[in-house]
Chains A and B, each alone.
Chain A
């Protein structure tokens, strides 16, 4: 079966690099074609990379607490760029402090993110979700 392409990176001015590296290796080992944009990635960079590589999903990391601000408007920009219905995930420590995750999830859903992941989610969970959403047996 053809490999699915994922674009990953850490959004905004965020420099937390460790989780991103772990995700890169975990997804690659799981058989994905991973385009890793590293840290400090703008919405535009995610989108441009997804266009050129014909990506199946964009996975945004945010650790430093400004995730909500950084992610705002991303779905609209994807639509604008012709990335129709591309799968959008977000994870890390996407909001400041400890907030009930259901609420956080709802807010990101409203922003057009298909799934949000709470702090400390192990990569196995992410991979299961990807397989389900991208219909990989």
Chain B
């Protein structure tokens, strides 16, 4: 037996997952409420105590942790053109597991400067210009950052002809220089920036967030929780040396404040003659909808889906729906406790899934000319994906998870959105995905086996 403990320091809960890697078995999971105020170790100790009530005492050989505590890895990014380097910067930060509070485009102004000072991010990602291209913007923004002061680290991943000058402008600040996120026009190169972000996270952030003490007990790999989820999804899709993966997939995590969507797929068009427009898409893509969530961002769901649609779906009157939504928005810790609130929560979840997956997925447009029809695709084609993984507290405990998941599917009323045609649903009932992502760094075979075993598989039809 080789017992390993996986820890996920969340913003409200610390979750622990115990596995035996020799047998590739899940031994148990437990979680404990933690607040920002309380010492992070209290949460960990009480979660472990709960776990041991089920498993008995275990001497763990190794302990690994992920963290989204204290707001997660809070990042800001700035680029030049919104659809180009600013988008690439956002994409790089999200892919590194960060919580991107804002992405700026073009030159930062005084108001932006004040906002940045106020937000005081964990890391700032400064990009702009292709190599040999525009350097005016990134140099200007470096100056603004220099004037802001503060001591947040700055990762520079812009025009290579300007980065050293940026470094000089930012003399005295912690600066990390890496390859351009868009070295050539239309080429996305986010891995180097992500690597640096990860290193800075490990070195600085973990310490700053009071995780040091805990980290003495921990054998290694602290990563932001979303990175652990991404690692798990990649493993599940691709498999290991000995086991073949389940293929391309998307994962949906509806939370109280945000909704995260992950896709592991190349996203290429079915018809090779289809023309691609816009930025190339990363193979593992993460998007976060900051306005879509079950409690803190409940208003965003209503704004986007419409109160009528939600009321209809929940089988309630518009007035009653308004009332209940008001209450959820005010009391963000309310759990559904009646048939009415359960129905409403389910309707909200359905809409959150639809909105977030639609924003994540690409689109195809038809244009006509004399020689027939031409197709232009922007974003990822997810039509052929046939696995949807459902995770996150808001969904894994619902009764009709498959029904909710079906809102991730292709919708005839929105035919240009490239969402999966049909899919089976894997539900992360025991909330182990982030833990398996952590485990996968050293024990990919065990992590894969456990996921295949534990994710409940059901086919959905629409």
A residues sitting closer than 8 Å to B (CB atoms) are: 3, 5, 13, 15, 33, 35, 38-40, 45, 48-49, 51-55, 64
Do A52 and B185 touch across chains, with their CB atoms under 8 A apart?
Answer: yes
Do B374 and A15 touch across chains, with their CB atoms under 8 A apart?
Answer: yes
C-alpha gap A137/B136 in the complex (Å): 26
Q: Return 30 A-B CB contacts under 8 Å, by A number.
A: A5-B132, A13-B367, A13-B369, A15-B374, A35-B185, A38-B275, A39-B275, A40-B367, A40-B376, A45-B277, A48-B83, A48-B84, A49-B185, A51-B80, A51-B134, A52-B84, A52-B85, A52-B128, A52-B130, A52-B133, A52-B134, A52-B185, A53-B129, A53-B132, A53-B134, A53-B185, A54-B133, A54-B134, A54-B136, A55-B133
Contacts of A33 in B (CB 8 A): 132
C-alpha gap A52/B376 in the complex (Å): 23
Counting CB contacts under 8 A, is B182 at the interface? yes
With A15-B369, A40-B376 as known contacts, state yes or no: A53 contacts B133, CB within 8 Å: yes
C-alpha gap A45/B81 in the complex (Å): 10
Contacts of B381 in A (CB 8 A): none
C-alpha gap A39/B369 in the complex (Å): 13
Do A52 and B129 touch across chains, with their CB atoms under 8 A apart?
Answer: yes
Contacts of B277 in A (CB 8 A): 40, 45
With A40-B275, A40-B367, A48-B83 as known contacts, state yes or no: A53 contacts B374, CB within 8 Å: no
C-alpha gap A82/B375 in the complex (Å): 32
Min CB distance A25 to B, Å, is: 17
Min CB distance B165 to A, Å, is: 15
Contacts of A35 in B (CB 8 A): 185
Top 5 A-B pairs, shortest CB-CB distance: A53-B133, A54-B134, A54-B133, A48-B81, A35-B185
19 other A-B residue contacts (CB within 8 Å) besides A48-B81, A49-B84, A54-B134: A5-B133, A13-B369, A15-B369, A15-B374, A33-B132, A40-B277, A40-B374, A48-B84, A49-B186, A51-B81, A52-B80, A52-B84, A52-B128, A52-B182, A53-B129, A53-B130, A54-B133, A54-B135, A64-B369
C-alpha gap A39/B186 in the complex (Å): 15
Contacts of B134 in A (CB 8 A): 51-54
Min CB distance B324 to A, Å, is: 42
Do A54 and B275 touch across chains, with their CB atoms under 8 A apart?
Answer: no
What's the interface size class on B, roughly? Answer: 20 to 34
C-alpha gap A7/B171 in the complex (Å): 35
C-alpha gap A58/B129 in the complex (Å): 17
Min CB distance B364 to A, Å, is: 13
A-contact bits for B96-139, CB 8 A (1 contact / 0 none):
00000000000000000000000000000000111011111000
C-alpha gap A40/B133 in the complex (Å): 23
C-alpha gap A53/B132 in the complex (Å): 7
Min CB distance A122 to B, Å, is: 27
Contacts of B133 in A (CB 8 A): 5, 52-55
Complex: chain B residue closest to A14, CB-CB? B369
Contacts of B85 in A (CB 8 A): 52
Complex: chain A residue closest to B135, CB-CB? A54
C-alpha gap A5/B185 in the complex (Å): 11
Complex: chain A residue closest to B88, CB-CB? A52
Min CB distance B337 to A, Å, is: 50
Complex: chain A residue closest to B137, CB-CB? A51
Min CB distance A56 to B, Å, is: 11
Complex: chain A residue closest to B371, CB-CB? A15
Min CB distance A130 to B, Å, is: 18
C-alpha gap A13/B185 in the complex (Å): 22
Of the candidates A3, A13, A49, A53, the one having the most CB atoms from chain B within 10 angstroms of its own CB is: A53
C-alpha gap A45/B136 in the complex (Å): 20
Contacts of B132 in A (CB 8 A): 3, 5, 33, 53-54
C-alpha gap A52/B84 in the complex (Å): 8
Min CB distance A49 to B, Å, is: 6
Min CB distance B388 to A, Å, is: 33
Q: Give the residue of A5, A39, A52, A55 whose beta carbon is less than 8 angstroms from that of B81.
A: A52
Contacts of A3 in B (CB 8 A): 132
Contacts of B186 in A (CB 8 A): 49
Min CB distance A24 to B, Å, is: 13
Contacts of B80 in A (CB 8 A): 51-52
